[in-house]
């Protein structure tokens, strides 16, 4: 993942550079903050990739120019979910909760309960 890490690191450096230039020419706070936060966010991703992904066998195989298809084989990390009812249920809950902000608190509360229940079920199913 050297390429990925470099990509995010260089993008973070670009965010810091453009924020500095923008502040120098404009002294405008909103835009400077937004640009600087982009740099911080990209740095976070670079650090995550660097610290957690390096050494992972599948990543080593993906990054090896002469890898064979079987090089990443062997580790069983669980079945792919084919179906789940909870994503659509959670979406319905979110719709009710947000539309409730427009139509009435009762609907928002109902939606919040529905979304919380579906979210917990989705989380439990994903474990």
Do 73 and 62 meet the contact criterion of CB atoms below 8 Å apart? Answer: no
> Which lies closer to other proteins via its Cβ, residue 101 or residue 109?
101
Residue 51 lies near other proteins (rule: CB under 8 A): no
> How far apart are CB 113 and other proteins at their closest, in Å?
17
Interface residue with other proteins, options 18, 36, 47, 107 (CB under 8 A): 18
Q: Which two tokens stand for residue 114?
A: 């529905």
Residue 111 lies near other proteins (rule: CB under 8 A): no
Spatial neighbors of 92 by CB under 8 A, at least 6 apart, are 114, 118
Spatial neighbors of 60 by CB under 8 A, at least 6 apart, are none
Spatial neighbors of 12 by CB under 8 A, at least 6 apart, are 39, 40, 42, 43, 46
Residues that bind other proteins (CB under 8 A): 1, 3-4, 7, 11, 14-15, 18, 21-22, 25-26, 28, 30-31, 34-35, 38, 41-42, 49, 53, 58-59, 61-88, 90-92, 94-95, 98-99, 101-103, 122, 125-126
């Amino acid at each position: 993942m050297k390429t990925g890490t470099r990509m995010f690191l260089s993008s973070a450096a670009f965010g810091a550079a453009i924020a500095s230039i923008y502040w120098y020419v404009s002294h405008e706070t909103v835009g400077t903050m937004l640009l600087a936060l982009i740099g911080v966010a990209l740095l976070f991703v670079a650090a995550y990739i660097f610290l957690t992904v390096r050494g992972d066998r599948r990543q080593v195989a993906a990054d090896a120019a002469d890898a064979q298809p079987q090089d990443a084989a062997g580790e069983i990390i669980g079945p792919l979910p084919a179906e789940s009812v909870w994503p659509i249920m959670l979406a319905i809950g979110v719709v009710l909760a947000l539309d409730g902000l427009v139509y009435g608190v009762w609907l928002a509360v109902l939606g919040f309960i529905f979304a919380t229940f579906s979210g917990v079920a989705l989380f439990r199913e994903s474990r």
